[in-house]
A and B are shown apart, each in its own frame.
Chain A
């Protein structure tokens, strides 16, 4: 009987991710039918590149949202990391690629520490704290760069190559994305640390009374998303080869948070999966590319994206509510039988 309940639970989760998967297939079919060029290989690889960047940052954002927080500053963090890295590369063209990647991740990590401290010890709600740092870090991008962009010929070839090549044929960019998702999957489902992250989001009061270090976990997830946003900065540079202080990472938080929420992470904390986020990122990537390719005007594109996000979440909520009701009903009936 108990096994039965358990399999039902995983069934619900599987079904949810399956739903996103179906939606992705529908989008592919619709876009492909309207505009066959959608399936051209250069377009598909453009989609994959933007999905990869989303996934790297989204993987981190998932854990932040699981703890009942949110990081609105990921776009700015990505921008600052890319800019600092780009400036180092410009002044020292021989700087090793791995060193540049580390610099970007450290810069992102420092932004994460700032956010984490504000939210944990500063006790500022994360939506406000990171709204502040969104502006502060964006300002820092302008200040450090003196509003001068990094041109493609100043970006090392090795960085650009990350978006096109790797030893195993798949671009580094996608490998990083895959690793980020796998890392979050591993941490959240296989480690005690991961369970603590979910515990803090599921019931903060209980977490404190069970002796879990609330502040430590909060800071940790913000550092994690910061570091990944830093890596996102590297991938952004690899893909676009230009780092413009006003453009780099601007508005990324919208896509990332949408992807995570569509992927099923509960905005009220406690639940969410890496696989869901990965699918959410793919969905957002396809949607934003597809709307452009089929010729929706940029003015309408934003509306259409927002509308589709709301529709996806609304449909999902309805389905989930129904399933949860049925699930609870099944459990109740079992109890009676027992």
Chain B
């Protein structure tokens, strides 16, 4: 990688963004941003949620028009180019959640925007396209069929489909926006290998990431954004995680939440022989008061489904969930009445009402406090909303702002905060920091630790290995719907979790 850095010294810039600014309404999202990308460079952009990273790459890829500033791609002005023109010139954007067509097959997804018809035949040559797609998939180490519908693939495989769609055209600039958020370590490895391979073949890359160790491992240069402004551009070899965090947050934060690892012996929730066909097979465990129980495992191991089954969202065919103080829990209503709360992984769909205000989202679980005889008390709603907003330090322009307009980290805070006006005894939380910036992540971690200390039982599903290991007092690892093993105290290590999760000694799936 050192030689690549040197090579860059006299390289030309593939992309130059000069004084780019963008407003959404009255809020400036990007202020006077200068950003350049050298040929064959991997340039990372880091920053807290809401710092403007995604907006910047959306502007570069033509999804969002720029308000002020110029963008040059390969020397020619592309400031107001149409998205199709930009894509045809070799720019591709890959999102955290793949932008695919679930009903279409892999092959159809790859070919759907293909512009040039092969040869003289007027008919699109599906055979040739199929061969090319198969070849590209094989190069990326993917083994799924080109005919399987995309909705049947895992998120990681879907990203690979997205990648192959980009590769079908002549690619010059690949932008990846938080690609690793929901991937398992071996899938991340496969993705990085792909990025390196592309880079070696002459593709320049912009990489947006929340996991700084990944950013440091993959990039040549790092641009730090904060509140829509560039605060630093660093060579990767000349910086470190602590410095980046300081630059991003503008203050020192303690990334490793102090882990007290203490819990009482009083059982808060007892799950026995729970079965939800196809997802959860014969799962039993207990959570004690004041304990953070981590649930590890690969994506698709049934972890989210387990939480949903406990909460009563998913049909169970046998088994029991018992809270010693409230008895057996079967329905969502009973769960909530027994002071169980669920913060789901997909907050946009399952955790929030995106088109309602922040206040309304916060009081929806507290209507018993804010309404009388079925009539809402708006003044009371405001008070409770404000209280929670302050407690969780939600960044907003007004409490009546739509939740849709908040950044990922702040949405997560709202999704969590809505439960916590009233006492919660058992918190089920699924991927607490997915798509959440470093600052909010630390705050959420601190909150979880503090709540556990106050006696809340927390069941946390996480794919973020560091989060899982640092936060959990005890870890249950799931595989294929079953509990593969339990780790506590000194047994807890990244390797041990991975071993149980994969059921093998080796963790490689892409190989």
Contact = CB atoms under 8 A, between A and B. Distances in A.
10 contacts: A191-B124, A203-B99, A206-B101, A208-B63, A211-B88, A211-B113, A270-B101, A327-B152, A328-B152, A332-B300
Given A199-B101, A210-B112, A332-B278, A2 B148 contact: yes
Given A9-B148, A329-B278, A192 B300 contact: no
Contacts of A328: 152, 278
B391 interface: no
Contacts of A203: 99-102
Given A5-B152, A199-B109, A209-B99, 16 more contacts: A2-B143, A2-B145, A6-B145, A190-B123, A192-B112, A192-B124, A195-B111, A199-B101, A201-B103, A202-B101, A202-B103, A203-B102, A266-B103, A335-B154, A338-B143, A338-B509
A211 B83 contact: yes
A196 B111 CA distance: 10
- Dominant SS at the A interface? helix
Interface of A: 2-3, 5-6, 9, 190-192, 195-196, 198-199, 201-203, 205-213, 266, 270-271, 325, 327-329, 331-332, 335-336, 338
Contacts of A2: 143-145, 147-148
Interface of B: 63, 83-84, 87-88, 93, 95, 99-104, 108-109, 111-114, 123-124, 126, 143-145, 147-149, 152, 154, 165, 277-278, 300, 480, 509
Given A9-B148, A331-B152, A336 B99 contact: no
Q: Is the interface of B mostly helix, strand, loop or mixed?
A: loop
Nearest to B129: A192
B145 A3 contact: yes
A293 B113 CA distance: 50
A216 to B, nearest CB: 11
Nearest to A331: B152
B145 A5 contact: yes
A193 to B, nearest CB: 9
B99 A210 contact: yes
Contacts of A5: 145, 148, 152
B304 to A, nearest CB: 13
Contact of A192 (B109, B114, B152): B114
Nearest to A333: B480
A220 to B, nearest CB: 15
Going nearest first, the 9 A-B pairs with the smallest beta carbon separation are: A2-B145, A270-B103, A206-B99, A202-B101, A211-B84, A202-B103, A6-B147, A199-B101, A210-B113
A3 B147 CA distance: 8
A196 B124 CA distance: 13
B143 A202 contact: no
B500 to A, nearest CB: 14
A329 B481 CA distance: 11
Contacts of B93: 209
Given A191-B124, A328-B278, A331-B152, A207 B101 contact: yes
Contacts of A9: 147-149, 152
Nearest to A192: B124
Contacts of A332: 278, 300, 480
Contacts of A208: 63, 83
A190 B108 CA distance: 10
